[in-house]
Amino acid sequence: MPPSLTERQAQVLQFITAYLADHGFPPTQREIMRRFKMKSTRGVARHLEALEKKGHLTRLHRGARALAVQSPARGIPVIGKVAAGQPILATENVEERIDLNRSFARWRDAFFLKVKGDSMIQAGILEGDYLLVKPQPTAETGEIVVALLNGEATVKRFSKKGDRILLHSANPAYAPIEITQRSGDFRIIGKAMAVVRSLTAPMIRFETVRD
């Protein structure tokens, strides 16, 4: 268990954590200095060094925004399946959790879906990849989405023209899926934000999904 923090160290850590959650990247030392009305960045540096020694922070590199909050209990859940009528993050759907630096976890409630099949290979999404998904119930034409169709999760490129909805594969071997009243239960679970292919420490390579 990490050593206990002083009151000011806890306040600085809380500020960094909240800033990361809101902005997707950490604050600079000057931003921390202004927030706590310190006279110089040297005071900030001392607090950051203490937080690093106590296991709460990691310096990723030399730079203004090079902090990562250590939160081992937190992790993005990996969803092995998505069942109809069940919350997406239901305990029985979560196969494991992948811990990432908070600087990568920009999207609250994001989850990973392990990709099965080869229908999106020309979009750079391969079987066995982990797709980082931002939960949302709608999508724009051209976006890659995770959708639930008759109880089965599918990854496709979404398009809509008028009332006509099509789910396109990125593999010529698969025809588009047209969503009609006869298609059964259909809903969008979320938008694909990134593909994770290499999960080996210490670096995780993100390939951002382009619309």
**Higher per-residue confidence, 124 vs 206:** 124
**Residue range 122-143: average pLDDT?**
90
Is-catalytic flag, 119? yes
Mean pLDDT of the chain: 77
Residue closest to 91 by CA, chosen among 103, 80, 101:
80
pTM of the model: 0.52
159 assigned to active site = no
Summarize pLDDT for 16-39 with one digit per residue, the tens.
888 877 776 788 889 999 999 999
Closest C-alpha to 202, from 78, 63, 58: 58
Which residue in the list 4, 81, 103, 119 is annotated as catalytic?
Answer: 119
- Cα–Cα nearest to 70, from 125, 129, 16: 16
Domains of the chain: 7-69 (1.10.10.10), 76-208 (2.10.109.10)
Least confident of 33-47, 84-98, 131-145: 84-98
Of 40, 156, 159, 161, the active-site residue reads 156
**What percentage of the chain reaches a pLDDT higher than 90?**
30
Query: What mean pLDDT do residues 124-151 have?
Result: 89
- CA–CA distance, 56 with 49 (Å, rounded to integer): 10
